[in-house]
Amino acid sequence: MAIVKKSRSDIKCFFMGVKPPVGKEPDKLKKLQMMCKELNLEDFVYFNDWVEYENRSEYLLEADIGISLHENHFETRFAYRTRLLDYIWCGLPIISSEGDVFSDIIEKNNLGSIVKAKNEVEVAEQIIEILEKDKSAFYKNHNYSKFLWSSAVKDLLAFCMDPKRISPRFSFFKEVKLYYWRLIYLIIRIYEKKIANKK
């Protein structure tokens, strides 16, 4: 935000919920708050205590961008950040760090921008670039609709409304029974050979 405010003093950063109702306050939060004071960002960065799950859309719908930044390490690739689903749900352009499964989805579906981890200059540039773009162009080119529940469950809903068998039924027990009789036949043949050899 120190970089952003040099060219756009109207842009604010809002942390939606930094103090979870259960558990202790994150150690990084105090460091971040101290950094904001040192950089004179108190009028540009706001730390909200907590937002109830049911009320999160009220805040997100007032936002212009959804941001999710993280380090790129082993855990990152397997993490699934549900806040990104909330950004999609509310139609927000997304700025996210590279490395996780969602960064691929964001790029492939034109949902926003992917930045390198810990690159504050690139993040600042993307914030300004997205906010200065024509919003209608973004909403025209993105592919949010495929992530809506109405799209995600379309095939399942169609099947439930009109269920039908689409392929011949595979009988597991029939296959097992056939294997069983082959095994019995093989055992009998081995037994017969042993008896024949004894004679």
Q: Which CATH number do you get for residue 63?
A: 3.40.50.2000
How many domains does the chain fold into? 1
pLDDT of 32? 92
pLDDT, averaged in runs of 10, over the chain (199 residues): 93 90 81 94 93 92 94 79 89 91 88 92 95 75 77 84 68 62 79 72
Q: Are 13 and 33 in contact (CB under 8 A)?
A: no
Range of the domain at 105: 4-148
pLDDT of 8? 93
Residue at 99 is within a domain: yes
Q: Say how far apart CA 186 and CA 180 lie, in whole Å.
A: 10
Side chain identity at 170, as an amino acid letter?
Answer: F
pLDDT of 23? 75
In tens, the pLDDT along 174-194 reads 556 667 777 777 888 787 777
Residue-level length of the chain: 199
Residue at 23 is within a domain: yes
Residue at 198 is within a domain: no
**Closest C-alpha to 92, from 102, 80, 81, 84:** 84
pLDDT of 172? 55
pLDDT of 117? 86
Residue at 177 is within a domain: no
Residue at 42 is within a domain: yes
pLDDT of 134? 74
pLDDT of 63? 95
Residue at 139 is within a domain: yes
Residue at 51 is within a domain: yes
Instruction: Count Cβ atoms within 10 A of the Cβ of residue 133 and give its class: 0-12 exposed, 13-18 middle, 19 or more buried.
Output: exposed
Residue at 192 is within a domain: no
pLDDT of 18? 87
pLDDT of 171? 56
